[in-house]
Homo-oligomer: A and B are copies of this chain.
Amino acid sequence: MQEFDLIHRYFDWRPSHPAVTLGVGDDAAIVAPRAGESLVIASDMLVAGRHFPSSTAPAAVAHKALAVNLSDLAAMGAAPLGFTLSLGLPETDAAWLESFSTGLRAAASRWGCDLIGGDTVRAPQLTLSITVFGTLTGARSIRRDGAQAGDRLAVTGTIGDAALGLMLALENGRLPPGITEADREMLLSRLDRPEPRLSVGQALVGRASGGLDVSDGLLQDLGHLLEASGLAAEIDLDAIPLSPAARRWLEVLPDDLDRVLAGGDDYELLLALPPELPLDPAWGLTVIGRLDEAGPVGAIRERAGRPLPGRRGYNHFNEDGA
């Protein structure tokens, strides 16, 4: 198949946003933000065998690649506009491309994010590089350097499901005692199909004083927030929101709490909230601690003095992910 046939067949959709004045097909795309709007831009690269198993269903690959990028927009408080996709393919597999394209289009349509351009090349491993664009009105955003001493620390959703799902994906079918088939499906779905917290992010622009998304592990990403804002934190391990499946898992295998706190791939938002801000239940937030200056910058203490994992999260440049 010729490259241009491939793009035309699988990736040439009409954009839906009026701001996209030229989409796929020319040398470049053109985006015309409205007066007073800023563009928010984030990039993530995913490599098969490293960021997802090579056997992952094409639609799940598409979902996750777009979702992890949109999670960065959510963490800034931006609304999705569009994305470019550069796709490195080891071979031209029409069935794979068809499923991938269908899954990507469903994800793009669901989150209102137009595919506006990209590139397709040969690569030794399936490689996806997405750059996503969002809009912010005015100058306000959720930055990691804005958190203040006295802020409450809160997270969306539940923490650790994807890390436990990854253990299941790597263990080839063996379930820990007490974990049901339904639990397994939920944990794997949290790994493969993260949900970017776009509406919470947009609701909290101008309200949260700082925040980021939890992609490399709760403790590591909290460390980034603290370093950027020059603060320390106290967290309460009992307050970390867990799914019923994760709760059952930790009852049997309490040492896996380390995986929950440092495993990554949560794609929840971690937010610093001023003490006076009323919390809308619709945001689905759980307060897990408080920011202060009671320790060295970056220090994380547990409320009851319980030990925290020495390894805070995922590092792409150690082969074991440590």
Contacts and interface: CB of A to CB of B under 8 A. Distances in A.
Interface of A: 1-4, 6, 21-22, 25-33, 35, 38-47, 50-51, 72-73, 75-76, 78, 84-88, 92, 116-125, 127, 129, 131, 133-134, 136, 139, 141, 143-145, 212-213, 224, 228, 315-317, 319
Nearest to A76: B28
A134 to B, nearest CB: 8
B127 A28 contact: no
Contacts of A120: 316-317
The 3 A-B pairs with the shortest beta carbon distances in the complex, nearest first, are A129-B129, A28-B42, A45-B86
A29 B40 contact: yes
Number of copies: 2
13 contacts: A22-B141, A25-B228, A26-B145, A28-B76, A32-B39, A33-B33, A41-B84, A41-B116, A43-B118, A43-B129, A45-B87, A50-B123, A127-B127
A122 B212 contact: no
B27 A213 contact: yes
A77 to B, nearest CB: 10
A4 B44 CA distance: 14
A136 B122 CA distance: 32
A157 to B, nearest CB: 17
Contact of A31 (B22, B39, B75): B39
A19 to B, nearest CB: 9
A265 to B, nearest CB: 14
A45 B119 contact: yes
Contacts of A84: 41-43, 131
A146 to B, nearest CB: 10
B317 A3 contact: yes
A140 to B, nearest CB: 10
A86 B44 contact: yes
B315 A45 contact: no
Contacts of A133: 41
Contacts of A73: 27-28
A45 B125 CA distance: 13
